[in-house]
Amino acid sequence: EPEVTQTPSHQVTQMGQEVILRCVPISNHLYFYWYRQILGQKVEFLVSFYNNEISEKSEIFDDQFSVERPDGSNFTLKIRSTKLEDSAMYFCASSEDRAQGQPQHFGDGTRLSIL
Amino acid sequence: SQKIEQNSEALNIQEGKTATLTCNYTNYSPAYLQWYRQDPGRGPVFLLLIRENEKEKRKERLKVTFDTTLKQSLFHITASQPADSATYLCALARNAGNMLTFGGGTRLMVKP
């Protein structure tokens, strides 16, 4: 079965540095998402992306964050000037299209640790 | 403010019994509700979707109900197995798009 793949599985970064988290969504999917899960807390929506632009974003997704689809297969989340509180599991997800209620297929996440 | 609550952080049941998990929400008018399974260290896996105009959905041993008056969804696993042990998440979406808001999850342990 097709999968969403995320790299790296674990990223350790010094506070203040920039990180790029990478995702390869399922190949025929058109709608992409990033979520995060701080340890022991709920999965939280960050942003959705469709047709090369942001579709929705949450309050968490401020100017520190950006997303990009640099080519036909990758979908990236960039976090500038990382803070300790950015430490979390970051999940990428994709769905076939933007029709309401489409199942979202999640990757296994990147664990981001900010030191 | 909007709240999504799932009953108890953990639910322990005996193999073969029916597990019933609850998702309650307030100050929210979801267009649909989804249930996901999450295993430790893994991403959520989609299980079932139910829309606001549907009362019940089934898939194999799984059943979901949705009561928009009570603002509640129930998720049932019949003939539970140890392999069903995982955290189960409910997630709601409003009419405007596919942004999911997740509950905190219920950790289910099925004992042999």
What is the pLDDT averaged over residues A54-58? 92
Min Cα distance B5 → chain A (Å) is 11
Q: In Å, how far are A58, B17, B36, B64, B80 from B14, measured between CA atoms?
A: 40, 6, 22, 20, 8
Chain B residues in contact with A108 by the CB 8 A cut-off are 41-43
In this complex, the residue of A42, A56, A105 whose CB is nearest that of residue B97 is A56
From chain A, pick out residues whose CB is under 8 angstroms from the CB of B105: 42
pLDDT of the residue at B52: 85
Q: Is the peptide bond before A8 cis (omega within 30 degrees of 0)?
A: yes
Q: What is the pLDDT of residue A48?
A: 94
Output the pLDDT for position B95: 63
Report percent pLDDT > 70 for chain A.
100
**Which of A45, A55, A103 lies closest to B101 in CB terms?**
A45
Residues of A with Cβ-Cβ distance to B31 under 8 angstroms: 100-101
Kindly identify which residue of chain A lies nearest to residue B92, measuring between CA atoms: A101
Q: Measured between CA atoms, how close is B36 to chain A, in angstroms?
A: 10
Whole-number CA gyration radius for chain B: 13
Average pLDDT across each block of 10 residues of chain B; the chain has 112 residues. List them in order.
81 96 88 93 94 92 94 96 97 80 95 94
Q: Which residues pair with A88 in a beta bridge?
A: A112
CB within 8 Å of B35: residues ≥ 6 apart: B23, B47, B48, B49, B62, B64, B73, B75, B88, B89, B90, B91
Tell me how far apart the alpha carbons of residues B5 and B64 are, in angstroms, rounded to a whole number.
Answer: 16
**Mean pLDDT across chain A:** 94
Cβ–Cβ gap A106/B43 under 8 Å: yes
Mark yes or no for CB contact B98/A44 under 8 Å: no
Cα–Cα dist A89/B42, whole Å: 10
Q: Between these two residues, A2 and B22, which has the higher pLDDT value?
A: B22
Contact B49 A103 (CB under 8 A): yes
Confidence (pLDDT) at B102: 94
Record: contact A48-B99, CB cut-off 8 A: yes
B99 with A104: Cβ contact below 8 A: no
pLDDT of residue A97: 82
Cβ–Cβ below 8 Å for B98 and A48:
yes
- Answer whether residue A38 shows pLDDT above 70: yes
Which residues, at least 6 apart from B24, have a Cβ–Cβ distance to it below 8 Å? B4, B5, B6, B7, B71, B72
Counting one residue from chain A and one from chain B, the pairs whose CB atoms sit within 8 A come to 66
The whole-number pLDDT of residue B9 equals 78
